[in-house]
A and B are shown apart, each in its own frame.
Chain A
């Protein structure tokens, strides 16, 4: 790892008191195509802006070829950015836009001319020198923006969702061109996107981010085949994510059945998350070779394959893919091979909060005084409160709840939804429910006294 070009060490950042990056550690190698991938608000653009120098990290440091960039303003960094909305200067034509950086460096004009023409050729925009940038299509503006950045021969090219504004066909073409440009130039690309398919297509390395933290770093195949947690599994591609129980090494129970698997080291009877990609849920014609059975509830043609939803006899819903069509209502045999079962550590098994005991029937956490069954602790002492996911009650109206929040993500777990609620206090609470919620729904949260378990906090 001696050819590290960019090194982020313990980088944290916040906006208006809201933590957007939390202890980011990332090393990017010379010549790598790295994609920062995540949903909006995950901190990926902030990371890019920190590298470019438009923001400076509140904590931690960013190193370029071993040198700290702390006191280096953006105009002195050998990096160039392709902006999401291109930011081409409307008062300059295509040529002058591209020559902008070179003119500032006082490069001789015949040299400028040579280099501008070279990059224009590379982005297939020859003959557009004199055009007004406003008269160009989105795709053409995109090419000029890339040319404007590349003409300065940066050590690292930063791209902030550069294809987001293009239509699908154009996006696919540009992806191929970007990939070829990267191969030809050999410089480091740092690419920000929320489009998982784009990330899988383009990158050497994908950095999956969520809520200001890096969830997983790996090659596209690593990320797809061996997601580290349920967030990554859910965000990349389609998947069945289920609660599981690791019975012992190489033996896991989920969806009401026991399976052989290839994972070990989780311990015995440990709760885990299990991921099975829909293409790995095999439908068997010969029912004697099936491991379990289910009923087809829907079968949709997707072009190359049919997408099926199958209800197992144990009451779980699984997504499967097959090139054959199955009738809705028909009984099918199913099979999942050991190597296709991905077992992951579950991030949490119940809600856990730090709390303060108010009196023997009340405990305060999440900035609210909850009634609880019985707190066997002296008033004022610190306690640890646990509430199981299924006991968190979500209400349609915020005012019906003891505390209020907003649904921030939904994970389908085969027989229930695992909902993450961002509370007004800034904390998260997790709820398991059969009800369907949408991201952004405003909800009230209730917890019954008998469902609040109070334990002594270990100092």
Chain B
């Protein structure tokens, strides 16, 4: 008779090797100099590296812009999808999910090729287009999920109390769908900060994001500095999660699509 708790063993081993160990390695490498001695040099170097800081600032800016664009496009899309009056079939929802079945890298390459054919110059505009294209579904789902599950009697109650459709939307629907928006933000903002492939392909390497720098450092065997930068990024992501407070729950709800 095997004890119930031992069923978790394979997962535990997996977690140790593929989650805990890499994290420990990042920590170890980040606080080592080239010859293996303990040092704060790598972390401190970031704060004196104006290039790295500028890239970091740009990454944050792009991430914020991408998130805002995703909300502006994603919320109305989710609202229409969740509204039985406009969308009666599950097919439309599948159409939104469909792009996610194709590898993001391939989609990005295809987008780059498309811009090439159309003769559009690659730059920040194309970068943002690619990002929104890649991350929009992650904004739509959690919002759609919340809107779809929302008890329609709330909207009816508001209407009954004298709210016109516009007021119903702003005073009831939007506030009640905030958990979905919060988890959408988490699912879009955090990965955007660390992305590097999209910026490389859609700007021809002209715009470097924070993820790009980490990748470059590691590619050129600068393991220690790369690890320190990764650590800083992890801290930022951790911070965003903490700031968004109770959205951990919402994210779980949003992810369970």
Contacts and interface: CB of A to CB of B under 8 A. Distances in A.
Interface of A: 52, 54, 73-76, 79-81, 83, 85, 87-91, 100-101, 104-105, 148-149, 152
Interface of B: 151, 153-154, 156-164, 167, 171-172, 175-176, 178
A74 B162 CA distance: 7
A88 B156 CA distance: 11
B162 A81 contact: no
B182 to A, nearest CB: 13
A75 B157 CA distance: 10
B249 to A, nearest CB: 14
Given A83-B153, A85-B153, A91-B176, A100 B158 contact: yes
Contact of B154 (A73, A76, A79, A89): A89
A85 B151 contact: yes
B161 A148 contact: yes
A421 B89 CA distance: 33
Contacts of A152: 161-162
B151 A100 contact: no
Contacts of B156: 54, 74, 81, 83, 87
Contacts of B153: 83, 85, 87
The 6 closest A-B pairs by CB, nearest first: A101-B161, A87-B157, A87-B153, A91-B175, A104-B162, A74-B159
Contacts of B162: 75-76, 101, 104-105, 152
Contacts of A100: 158, 161, 163, 171
Nearest to B156: A54
B174 to A, nearest CB: 10
A74 B160 contact: yes
Nearest to A158: B160
Contacts of A88: 157
Contacts of B175: 91
A83 B160 CA distance: 10
B169 to A, nearest CB: 13
Given A54-B156, A85-B153, 14 more contacts: A52-B160, A74-B156, A74-B159, A87-B153, A87-B156, A89-B154, A89-B157, A89-B158, A91-B178, A100-B158, A105-B162, A149-B160, A149-B161, A152-B162
Nearest to A88: B157
Contacts of A76: 162
B246 to A, nearest CB: 13
Contacts of B172: 89
B151 A87 contact: yes
12 contacts: A73-B164, A81-B160, A83-B153, A89-B154, A90-B176, A100-B161, A104-B162, A104-B163, A104-B167, A104-B171, A149-B161, A152-B161
Contacts of A87: 151, 153-154, 156-157
A79 B176 CA distance: 25
B210 to A, nearest CB: 36
B163 A75 contact: yes
Contact of A75 (B154, B160, B178): B160
Contacts of A81: 156-157, 160
B177 to A, nearest CB: 10
A149 B176 CA distance: 21
B143 to A, nearest CB: 16
Nearest to A80: B160
Nearest to B160: A81
Contacts of B171: 100, 104
Contacts of B160: 52, 74-75, 79-81, 149
Contacts of A74: 156, 159-160
Contact of A73 (B151, B159, B176): B159
A81 B155 CA distance: 13
A74 B178 CA distance: 26
A63 B86 CA distance: 30
